[in-house]
Amino acid sequence: MSVLDDIVAGVREDLAERESRTPLPRLRELASLRPEPRDPMPAFRAPGLSVIAEVKRSSPSKGHLAEIADPAALATSYAQGGAAAISVLTEQRRFNGSLADLRAVRAAVDTPLLRKDFVVTEYQLVEAREAGADLVLLIVAALPGDELDRLHAIAVELGLTTLVEVHDEAETERAVALGAELVGVNARNLKTLQVDPDTFGRLAPGLPEQVVKVAESGITGTADAARHAAEGADVVLVGEALVKGGDPATAVKEMRSA
Ligand SMILES: O=C(O)c1ccccc1NCC(=O)[C@H](O)[C@H](O)COP(=O)(O)O
């Protein structure tokens, strides 16, 4: 079983428990009471490099990263630094995140929020909308066959922006065929968990000009951000370097001007 399969299996078990407490029709009713999601695309398309700053406590590759007792305070620092969006990891078993984190961050900032999770069902999209997310991650490797198209269509119907994540050439072709407007190239190999910093530069030329391109994972500071900007990134998505550094607002600000 690959790391991704293992994570998704755990996600499905946790989901079954939540779904038994709040069935999908009820969750949809609750989601329909929430304000319309924000549109992050104008900020991503603005001149200069945008930053999606991540709230990330732990990871399968590095284990414990940071305590983050108050995710709202961290998100407020990210917003003060000018993050174009904030990513909140909501997967519980491997990343020690939760929907409660997402709700807490939603209550604290107006910045567009990404629900960062391993989305494989409609239920998770409705949960994201109900918890106040504006964007959701769709990992191409986790969505075989028609599932990518189906979940993308549901996300659009809910008013959510999708960040479609790819790791190789074949996944990039699937994202292009989908007509994705926001594509993340993740440099972390989901089988080995190794980061290959050349991944964005290799895959970005396969994306159409109008696609907003996000470089994800392994970005340790302004030099990496500048390198990806030179390779055509519009946005960098950064977790570990921000949660482990001492001054997240300044770090986001510096990456924006990279
Ligand atoms: O971070 C991991 O170890 C990981 C392992 C398996 C699947 C996904 C994983 N990370 C999710 C992410 O995409 C990153 O949190 C995000 O790109 C930020 O990466 P970093 O700046 O390297 O923390």
Local confidence pLDDT in tens for the 258 residues of the chain: 789 999 999 999 999 999 999 999 999 999 999 999 999 999 999 999 999 999 999 999 999 999 999 999 999 999 999 999 999 999 999 999 999 999 999 999 999 999 999 999 999 999 999 999 999 999 999 999 999 999 999 999 999 999 999 999 999 999 999 999 999 999 999 989 999 999 999 999 999 999 999 999 999 999 999 999 999 999 999 999 999 998 999 999 999 998
What is the whole-number distance in angstroms between the Cα of residue 252 and the centre of ligand 1? Answer: 17
Q: What is the Cβ-side half-sphere exposure of residue 148, based on CA atoms within 13 angstroms? A: 22
Reported as a single tens digit per residue, the pLDDT across 40-84 is 999 999 999 999 999 999 999 999 999 999 999 999 999 999 999
At residue 123, the pLDDT reads: 98
The closest alpha carbon to 120, from 30, 29, 11, 25, belongs to 11
* Domain 3-257 indexed as CATH 3.40.50.300: no
Domain boundaries, the chain: 3-257
Cβ of residue 60 lying under 6 Å from some atom of ligand 1: yes
Looking at the CA of residue 219, tell me the nearest atom of ligand 1.
Answer: 21
Nearest CA to ligand 1 atom 7: 190
The residue count of the chain comes to 258
Q: In this structure, is the dihedral angle defined by the CA atoms of residues 56, 57, 63 and 65, taken in order, positive or negative?
A: positive
Give the Cα separation of 42 and 156 in Å (integer).
17
Rounded to two decimals, the pTM is 0.98
Look up residue 238 and give its two tokens: 């950064």
User: Is the distance from CB of 176 to CB of 157 less than 8 angstroms?
Assistant: no
What is the whole-number distance in angstroms between the Cα of residue 59 and the centre of ligand 1? Answer: 7
At residue 245, the pLDDT reads: 92
At residue 177, the pLDDT reads: 98
